[in-house]
Structure formats: structure tokens, C-alpha cells
Amino acid sequence: MFLYKLHLELKMTNSHELILKFLSYLSMLIITFIIYNKNISPLNLMMNLFMFTLIMLTMNYLMIQKTLYCFMIFISMISGNMIMFLYFTSLINNYYNKMFKSTINYLMIYFFFTLMIQVYYYNNLNLNTKTMNTPHPLMIYKIYMFPLYLLTLMLIMYLLMTLFFSMKICLFKYKPLRKIYN
């Protein structure tokens, strides 16, 4: 019975390592796409940031096994992206970047180079997830305790007020905030 449990545990550890390697590869791909794409729009940049955050949170969960920490970061990133999406849609031009063909070429080149890097470096990497799971609590909980919760509350109220003000200005003028040239 003990050997069977040990065998299942080793299988799970190997699958976790494979998932971690794949997610780290995807995160490298997103970073290289952001760095080398010169004509990226703010909305595409936000979408890439959101995907990168999801990948990092998944990797964090697989390594540390703390769901509350990942959930709090996910909720804060979603709310921040929603507010930034509202700001960008009210301030930027509504044009679509017609760089689809070159983007595919960029992605193929980056895919090839990051695959080479991944094969070279990560074959010798030993990710031991058992040693990363420490019993110490994470420091993120301190922002909800006495001295720092006021700062967190003020930041939430500031973001909510700016969201309401920008919505009120857009609804009052019946047009976006950007300057339109005729």
C-alpha cells in the first residue's frame, strides 16, 4: 500500500513539473511577444498582461498550494483590468492594428527560439515542489490588518471614484473623452 501511494505521489510530482515547465515556457513566449512587438495597442497589452498573470498564478498555486493568495491577486488583477479597459476605451482611437500577418511571423520565430531555450535549460532543471511548500504564512495577509488596511481601503475608494467620474463624464457628453478631428 505504501509503495502504491509513493508511486502515485511521484506521478503527480512529475506531472506538476511538466505543467510548470510548460507554463514557464508560455510566460517566456508572452514576454518576448510584448517586448518585440512595436505596434502593440494598449488593449492587446492588457490582454497579454492578463494571460501572463493567469499563468503566473497557476504556477504559484502549483508550487505553493495557497489558494487564497492566488484568488486575491486574480480578483485584484481582474478589477484593475476592467478599470483600465474603461479608461482606454474612453480615451484611445478605435482602430484595429492590421499587423496580423507579421504577428504570426513574430510568434513563429519566438516560438522556435523559446523552444530552443526551454529544451536547453529546463531539461536539467529539477523542480522540487515539496521543498517550496513552506509552512510560513504569506505576507499578503498583512495588507488587511490594522495599520495597512486603511491604505488598501483608500486605494479601493480612489479607483472606484475615478471609475465613476470617467463614466459620468462619458455619459454626460454622450461621446468618448478623446478629441475627435473632423
Rounded distance between C-alpha atoms, residue 143 and residue 158, angstroms? 17
In this predicted model, which residue has the larger pLDDT, 89 or 54?
54
- Asked whether residue 181 is domain-assigned, the answer is no
> Are 60 and 138 in contact, with CB atoms under 8 Å apart?
no
pTM metric for this prediction: 0.50
- Asked whether residue 62 is domain-assigned, the answer is yes
Domain that holds residue 125: 1-137
Nearest 10 degrees: CA dihedral of 6, 8, 13, 19?
Answer: 180
Rounded distance between C-alpha atoms, residue 123 and residue 119, angstroms? 6
Q: Is the pLDDT of residue 180 over 60?
A: no
- Asked whether residue 161 is domain-assigned, the answer is no
- What's the burial of 29, exposed, middle or buried (CB within 10 Å: 0-12/13-18/19+)? buried
pLDDT in tens, 121-139: 655 555 554 555 554 555 6
Rounded distance between C-alpha atoms, residue 30 and residue 151, angstroms? 32
The residue assigned the cell 483600465 is 84
Please, which residues have CB within 8 angstroms of residue 51's CB and are 6 or more apart in sequence? 30
In this predicted model, which residue has the larger pLDDT, 119 or 165?
165
Amino acid in position 46: M
The residue assigned the cell 504564512 is 137
Average pLDDT over residues 1-21: 57
pLDDT band at 8 (very low <50, low <70, confident <90, very high): very low
Average pLDDT over residues 50-59: 83
How many domains are contained in the chain?
1
- Asked whether residue 94 is domain-assigned, the answer is yes
- Asked whether residue 163 is domain-assigned, the answer is no
- Asked whether residue 162 is domain-assigned, the answer is no
Average pLDDT over residues 32-49: 74
pLDDT band at 99 (very low <50, low <70, confident <90, very high): low
pLDDT band at 150 (very low <50, low <70, confident <90, very high): confident
Helices 146-173 and 67-91 cross at an angle (nearest 10°) of: 30
- Asked whether residue 169 is domain-assigned, the answer is no
- Asked whether residue 119 is domain-assigned, the answer is yes
